[in-house]
Amino acid sequence: MIDNTDTADSADHQPEDGEKFRKVIRKVEIRIPEAKTPERLDVFLARQVSELTRAKAQAAINQGAVTVDGMAVKTSHKVRPGQLIKLEVLSLPPLELEPEEIPLDVVWEDRWLVVVNKPAGMVVHPAAGNRSGTLVNALLGHYGDLADSDDPDRPGIVHRLDKETSGLIVICKREPALSKLAEQFRKRTVKREYHAVVWWQMPKRKGSIDEPIGRDPRDRKKYIVRRDGKPSITHWEVMERFEYLSYLALHLGTGRTHQIRVHMSHEGHPVFGDPDYSGRNRQLGRLTSGQRKQVAGYFERINRQMLHARTLGFKHPVTRRELFFESELPEDFAWLLGELRGDERERKETGG
């Protein structure tokens, strides 16, 4: 696959009158390998191009932004060996984003970037059901403007954290920071470490999970391990073991949506407190009555998954300076570890 990431001028794409605001963000060329079995074009593009869902792939095909051997085709076209697919990734229609006065924990900033310690419960960017109160709304309230993105709901955004995941995130104030930093994320040169408390003791000290991830056909808001999903790799290492929980450090080999939560759940070790991926009540049946009472006490204080983006390191996209940041564990996470360590000491002292 040849991925030409240079930004093109809007003259490279001649839109309809109602689409004159759109421009080509990048161009992608894919030569279908000889061993490839026939597959629908929209399905194939959604697997091959990181920012495309199947719906976005269908929209691009219908808008004429995709050609196969130089010709426009339908979404149902079956790709075959030797064909050359060309795709223009277009910007989306601009929407109104409201600046809001929301407090932010700014870890570091300069004229190009800002690194924020995001609290659990804050959505990164506006979307259906979350048009306000997001990190983007807060940043616009602080800075007035952010770097343009191919998605107008995500100005300045080059990576995301789930709503209930806390920790470090970097946002771009202006170009060329966004395009150059996005390239580092695409090449997986950004250093990120996550900390998590997961259910049950891990079978060994460290390991990797290499399982493809795709959308759950039963719930489009969730993801599962599936054979036709996108390649996904998560590396984990045990830092502490408790009676029925483990404290892990995790590193991403890829950056899929919900990746850590999906992979850990698939391995039978869902993130503690995660209601979407079997990390809350579905594990209680394996506990003793005393352990269930203990967990109920934890859940009274904790209402989210115990996942925290602890460290973030990258090369400054403009100055080329190496940057590294570390975030303290938030109060609820630190409290849980303190309780677990105390319970573990008491269990060993009493021989329980």
Q: Say how many C-beta atoms besides its own lie within 10 A of residue 294's C-beta.
A: 17
DSSP H or E segment with residue 246 = strand 245-252
Closest to 171 in 3D by CA, of 225, 231, 122: 122
Closest to 2 in 3D by CA, of 36, 68, 48, 44: 48
Q: Are 230 and 212 in contact (CB under 8 A)?
A: yes
Question: Helices H, strands E: what count in the chain?
Answer: 7, 17
**264 by DSSP, 3-state: which?**
helix
Q: What's the CA gap between 179 and 214, in Å, rounded?
A: 26
Q: What would the two tokens of residue 260 be?
A: 């850590």
Q: What's the CA gap between 169 and 190, in Å, rounded?
A: 12
Q: Are 244 and 287 in contact (CB under 8 A)?
A: yes
Radius of gyration of the chain (CA): 22
Which of the following is catalytic: 42, 148, 153, 162? 162
Quick check: is 151 catalytic?
no
**123 by DSSP, 3-state: which?**
coil
Q: What's the CA gap between 115 and 155, in Å, rounded?
A: 15
Burial code of 25-61, b = ≥16 C-beta within 10 A, e = fewer? bbbbebebeeeeeebbbbbbbbbbbeebebebbbbbb
Q: What's the CA gap between 197 and 330, in Å, rounded?
A: 13
Q: What's the CA gap between 153 and 216, in Å, rounded?
A: 24
Q: What's the CA gap between 267 and 204, in Å, rounded?
A: 13
Catalytic amino acids? 162
